[in-house]
Amino acid sequence: MFKLLKNLIKEPMFVIGSVLFLTTILAGLFGPFLYVSMPEGATYEAPSATYLLGTDNLGQDYVALLLKGLQNSLYVGFMAGIIATTVGTLIGLFGGFKGGIVDDILNMFTNLFIVIPSFVVLVLVSASWPEGRSLTLIAVLIGLTTWPWTARSVRAQAASLRGRDHISLARINGATNLEIIFKHILPYLASYVFMVFIMQVASGILSESAISMIGLGPIGEGSTSLGVILNTAKNNSAITDGYWWGIFPAAIVITMIVFALYLLNNSMEGVFNPRLRK
């Protein structure tokens, strides 16, 4: 474990990724509480000493909006990531370990939901929920539509472990299936599952911004997300009127979080998978 960390720290991608990620996490967690929002100004005021990033179409302080949006986007991303990883890992583990008919059924179920675009499912459900779409609802929806990816990759890994000697030994010693799965298979896949989790968080944040962009994102007081900020800016013609501060900060923040997560994932892949190491 220690050696692994030492290897990771030598990777510039890992260092840059974790610094970026920690910064966004801290800003999202504490920013909305620490930053004192400026009083409402005029519509689309350009960035100045008072409004560091200008104001939006309602004259609200963009810094405060971005911090709140970042917090909410991270919440949706993590929540969706946790749901998708848990569901996907469980299904993948059981299918891969059990094999046979259980695997066939779970696998068919997984493949079914991989080919049916999750974007479509998100649009259909959100459109039927015109009122009170909370952040949590969006997160749960995303989590429940993106798990097949996790299930698929975890299943492949679990299946490759099935025939290992230590599994047979555990079985001879009378371990139950659950014990074998959680004690003897999951630990081997822990690093892998963690990497999958990172990717699921990234895709959760991206999905949320995508669904918000088409006006089906979270609605209600205080549920601004980065996607909602971008959608509002677009709907109030911030791009075509040249109010760059309406789109660039939010766009950069989304890109930075996702980039940080991709960097983390890729640097870990390099360490865990010796072949990719130079």
Partner 1 sequence: MFKKYPTVRYVLQRAIWYFLTFLVALSLNFFLPRLGSDPVDIMMAQSSFSSPEIRKQTEENLRKEFGLLVLDKQDSIVRDTVRSIVIDTVVNVVADTVIDEQGNVTLDSLGNVVVSERNETVINKHEKIEINAVKASKFSQLINYIGQVFQGDLGTSFKNQKKVSEIIAQALPWTIALQLPAILFGWIFGNGLGALAAYRRGVFDKVIFPLALLMSSIPFFVFGMVLVYFFGVVWDIFPAVGAYSLELTPGFSLDFILSIGYHYILPFFSIFLILAGGQAIGMRSMGIYELGTDYIKYAKWLGLKESRVLVYLFRNAMLPQLTGLALSIGQMVGGALITEMIFSYPGLGMAMLTAIQTNDYPVIQGVTLLITTSVLLANFTVDILIALLDPRVKQSLSMDAK
Instruction: Pick one of 1, 42, 49, 115: the residue that binds partner 1 (CB under 8 A).
Output: 115
| Residue 168 Cβ vs partner 1, minimum distance, rounded to whole Å | 26
H-state helical runs in the chain: 2-10, 12-34, 62-98, 100-115, 118-127, 135-161, 165-172, 177-179, 186-213, 226-235, 248-272
Map tokens 């909006």 to a residue: 65
| Residue 78 Cβ vs partner 1, minimum distance, rounded to whole Å | 17
Residues 6+ apart with CB under 8 A from 18: 260, 264
Distance CA 220, CA 130 (A): 11
| Residue 60 Cβ vs partner 1, minimum distance, rounded to whole Å | 20
Question: Which of the stretches 33-41, 54-62, 188-196, 269-277 binds partner 1 when contact is defined by CB under 8 A?
Answer: 269-277
Residues 75-104 that bind partner 1 (CB under 8 A): none
Instruction: Pick one of 53, 74, 230, 268: the residue that binds partner 1 (CB under 8 A).
Output: 230
Residues 169-228 that bind partner 1 (CB under 8 A): 202, 206, 209-210, 213-216
Residues 6+ apart with CB under 8 A from 133: 126, 216, 217, 218, 219, 220
Three-class SS of residue 61? strand
Here's the x/- map for partner 1, 249-268, by CB under 8 A: it reads as --x--xx--xx-xxx--x--
DSSP secondary structure code for residue 184 in this structure? I
Q: Is 159 in the site for partner 1 (CB under 8 A)?
A: no
Number of shown-chain residues binding partner 1 (CB under 8 A)? 46
CB atoms within 10 A of CB 208: 31
Q: Which is nearer to partner 1, 181 or 258 (CB)?
A: 258
Three-class SS of residue 43? coil
Three-class SS of residue 76? helix
Q: Is 5 in the site for partner 1 (CB under 8 A)?
A: no
Instruction: Pick one of 35, 188, 194, 244: the residue that binds partner 1 (CB under 8 A).
Output: 244
Question: Which of the stretches 68-76, 166-174, 188-196, 270-278 binds partner 1 when contact is defined by CB under 8 A?
Answer: 270-278
| Residue 14 Cβ vs partner 1, minimum distance, rounded to whole Å | 13
Distance CA 215, CA 20 (A): 29
Distance CA 123, CA 128 (A): 9
Map tokens 């999905």 to a residue: 207
Question: Which of the stretches 31-39, 58-66, 159-167, 236-244 binds partner 1 when contact is defined by CB under 8 A?
Answer: 236-244
| Residue 180 Cβ vs partner 1, minimum distance, rounded to whole Å | 29
Distance CA 192, CA 170 (A): 22
Token pair belonging to 213 = 């962009």
Q: Which is nearer to partner 1, 182 or 248 (CB)?
A: 248
Chain positions contacting partner 1, by CB under 8 A: 13, 112, 114-121, 123-125, 127-130, 202, 206, 209-210, 213-216, 230, 234, 239-240, 242, 244, 247-248, 251, 254-255, 258-259, 261-263, 266, 269, 275-276, 278
